[in-house]
Amino acid sequence: MRERIEEVGFWFLIFSWVWTSANCMLSPKGVNFEVQALMGIKASLKDPHGVLDNWDGNAVDPCSWTMVTCSTESLVIGLGTPSQNLSGSLSPSIGNLTNLQIVLLQNNDITGPIPPEIVRLSKLQTLDLSNNFFSCEVPSSLANLRSLQYLRLNNNSLYGAIPESLANMTNLVFLDLSFNNLSGHVPRMPAKTFSIVGNPLICPTGSENECFGTALMPMSMPLNGSEGMGFKTSPYSPFSTGALPLGRPKSHRVALALGVTLGFICFLILLLGLLLQWRQRRNKHMFFDVKDRHHEEVSLGNLRRFQFRELQLATDNFSSKNILGKGGFGHVYKGHLRDGTAVAVKRLKDGSTVGGDRQFQTEVEMISLAVHRNLLRLYGFSMTATERLLVYPYMSNGSVASRMKGQRALEFGKAANQKGAMLDWVRKIHLEKKLDLLVDKDLKNNYDRIELEEMVQVALLCTQYLPGLRPKMSEVVRMLEGDGLAERWEASQRVESSKYKSYDLSSSERYSDLTNDSSLLVQAIELSGPR
C-alpha cells in the first residue's frame, strides 16, 4: 500500500512539472506573453501595406506570423520588418520578448525614443534600427546587452554624447553611429568596426578641453586605435597647438591661415561629396563577410559576398552540364568553391531590373529572415551591374518539389494495385481499418491505436483538396488536445459522402474515383497553400 502511495505521489509531481512548463508562457488569462508583446508592437506601429495583417491576438503562438522567426521550442527569436514603410513608435512591450536574438527594423519611418525596456533582451545578438527617425540619446543601458554583436543606429536623429558604458561591450563586433547629431568626445570602443561619420559636433581629438562645439571634419575611426580620430592636423590648421613662424607680418599670417582653412574646407567638401556618392551606390554596411562558414546560427549580416568571377569558376562558367534545375526566375547550377565546398548557385533572370542594388539587397534581407532547421539557409550572394546570384549549400538528396512532382502518374482505375500515391493509400487503409500498416514494425504493439486514428484523421483533414476546407493551425492544436476533432471529422465525412452520393460503387471502385482528387493531381503549390 505504501509503495502504491509513493508511486501516485511521483506521477503527481511529474504531472505538476509538465503542467507548469506548458503554462510558463501564458498570462493569467491564458494568453501567450509573446503574442501579447507582439500585438503591443503592432498597435504602436502604422502599417500602410498590411504586412502585419496576419498577426492575430487570439493565436496560440506567433510562429506562423510574417516577419517573426521562432526556435525549435516555439520561442520568438527573430523580429524583422526592414523596408516596409512602417511609422509610429516602437512599443516598450518589445522588452517582454526576452528570447529575441535578432531585431531588424531598418529602413522605415519609426519615430520617438528607443524604449529603455530593450535592455531586457539579454540574448540579443543583432540590433538594426538604422535609417529611421528615432530621436533620443544613445541609451547607456545598451551596455548591459552582453550578447550584442551587431549594433546599427546610423541615419537617425540621436543626440547627446556617446555613453562611456559602450566601451564595456566586449562582444561587440560592429557599431555604426554615423549621420546623427551626436556631440562630445568619443570613448575608446572595443568593436572591430566603428563609424561616427556625419556627426559634426563630435570633438576632433577626443579631449573635452579641445571641444569647440563644431568640427570641420566628419570622422570615422579604426577600431582599437590609439592614433586619434583618423586624421592629422597641419601645423597651420585651426587645431594645431604649434605657433606660427615669427618674423612675418600679421596680415600675412592671417592670409596664410585663411587660405589654408579655405583649402582644407574645399578638400573636405569634395571628400564628403565623393563619400556620399559612394555610399548611395554601394552600402558596404549592409552585409559582412563571415570567415566561420560552419557557424550554426544565422542572422542578418552573416552572409558571404562572392565575387562574380569566383562563381564563374565554381560552375565552370555556368556550364549547361552543371544545371540542377530551371524555373521562372532563373537557372540553378551546381558548383564547387576553391576550398571544395559544394554549392548551388541560382542565377536570376533580368539581373539589371529597375531598383538596382538596393532592391536586390532588400530581397536578400527578406530571404535571410527565413531561418529554420528544415529550410535551406542562404549562404551568400553576388551582384554586378548585370548579374544577380544567390548561393545556397548543395543538397544531394534533391528538393521537396522533386519528391512531390517526381512521382509517376497512376493509371486510372488501378490505383489500389499501384504504389506511389501516399495520400490515397492512407485514405484506403483508413477506410479498411488497417492503420496498423502505418506503424513502424520496431514498435510492435507499443502504441495507442486510438491516438493513431486521431493523428491520421487530423492529417487527412489537413490535406483536403480545397484549401478552404483545411483547418487552421490553431484548430489543429485544439484537435490534438482532444477538442473538436470528432465533430470536424464527422462534418468532413458528410461533405465527402454528399459529394459521392450519386455513385453506387464498391469500396475499391470508390477509392479509385478518389484519385481524381489525389495529391498526385494537385500542384505542389496548392498543397502548401494557406490553411
Residue 184 in contact with residue 162, Cβ under 8 Å? Answer: yes
* Average pLDDT of the residues in 129-139: 94
CA distance 218 to 229: 10
> Per-residue pLDDT tens for 31-84?
688 899 999 999 999 999 999 999 988 888 899 899 999 998 889 999 999 999
Residue 95 in contact with residue 120, Cβ under 8 Å? Answer: yes
Cβ-based neighbour number of residue 488 at 10 Å: 18
Which H/E stretch holds residue 272? Answer: helix 250-281
> Per-residue pLDDT tens for 268-291?
999 999 988 887 765 544 444 444
Name the residue ranges covered by the structural domains of the chain.
Answer: 29-224, 304-398, 411-527
* Average pLDDT of the residues in 91-107: 94
Q: What is residue 5's predicted lDDT score, i.e. its pLDDT?
A: 60
The pTM is what? 0.40
- DSSP state letters, 123-139: T--EEE--SSEE-SBPP
Q: What is residue 528's predicted lDDT score, i.e. its pLDDT?
A: 39
Question: Three cell numbers at 118?
Answer: 530593450
- Which one is predicted more confidently, 354 or 177? 177
Considering the chain, what percentage of its residues have pLDDT values greater than 90? 28
Residue 142 in contact with residue 148, Cβ under 8 Å? Answer: yes
Report, in this order, helix, strand and coil percent for the chain, each rounded to 5: 35, 15, 50
Q: What is residue 434's predicted lDDT score, i.e. its pLDDT?
A: 86
- Known binder of ligand: residue 123? no
- Which one is predicted more confidently, 426 or 284? 426
Which H/E stretch holds residue 422? Answer: helix 422-431
Name every residue whose Cβ is closer than 8 Å to that of residue 146 and which is 6 or more positions away in sequence.
122, 169, 171
Q: Which residue has the cell 502505418?
A: 438
Instruction: Answer whether 29-224 and 304-398 agree in fold.
Output: no
* Average pLDDT of the residues in 145-154: 93
Question: Three cell numbers at 167?
Answer: 566601451
- Which one is predicted more confidently, 214 or 119? 119
Q: What is residue 103's predicted lDDT score, i.e. its pLDDT?
A: 95
> Per-residue pLDDT tens for 451-491?
888 888 888 888 887 778 888 888 888 888 878 777 778 77
10: confidence class by pLDDT, cuts 50, 70, 90: low
Helices (H) and strands (E) in the chain, counts: 12, 21
- Which residues sit opposite 347 in a β-bridge? 331, 389
Tell me the average pLDDT of the chain.
Answer: 74
CA distance 395 to 169: 39
Q: For residue 156, give Cα distances in angstroms to 152, 153, 235, 274.
A: 10, 7, 35, 21
- Which one is predicted more confidently, 425 or 526? 425
212: confidence class by pLDDT, cuts 50, 70, 90: very low
- Which one is predicted more confidently, 251 or 95? 95
Q: What is residue 417's predicted lDDT score, i.e. its pLDDT?
A: 52
Q: Does pLDDT of 94 surpass 90?
A: yes
* Average pLDDT of the residues in 378-403: 80
Question: Three cell numbers at 92?
Answer: 516598450
Question: Three cell numbers at 376?
Answer: 535551406
* Average pLDDT of the residues in 80-91: 93
* Average pLDDT of the residues in 208-233: 40
Which H/E stretch holds residue 45? Answer: strand 45-46
Q: Does pLDDT of 190 surpass 50?
A: yes
The reply to whether CATH 3.80.10.10 applies to domain 29-224 is: yes
Considering the chain, what percentage of its residues have pLDDT values greater than 70? 67
User: In terms of C-beta density within 10 A (0-12 exposed, 13-18 middle, 19 or more buried), how is residue 506 classed?
Assistant: exposed
Residue 237 in contact with residue 216, Cβ under 8 Å? Answer: no
Residue 510 in contact with residue 503, Cβ under 8 Å? Answer: yes
Domain 304-398 fold:
Phosphorylase Kinase; domain 1 (3.30.200)
Q: Which residue has the cell 492575430?
A: 56
- Which one is predicted more confidently, 431 or 487? 431
Q: Does pLDDT of 232 surpass 70?
A: no
Question: Three cell numbers at 409?
Answer: 502518374
- Which one is predicted more confidently, 519 or 392? 392
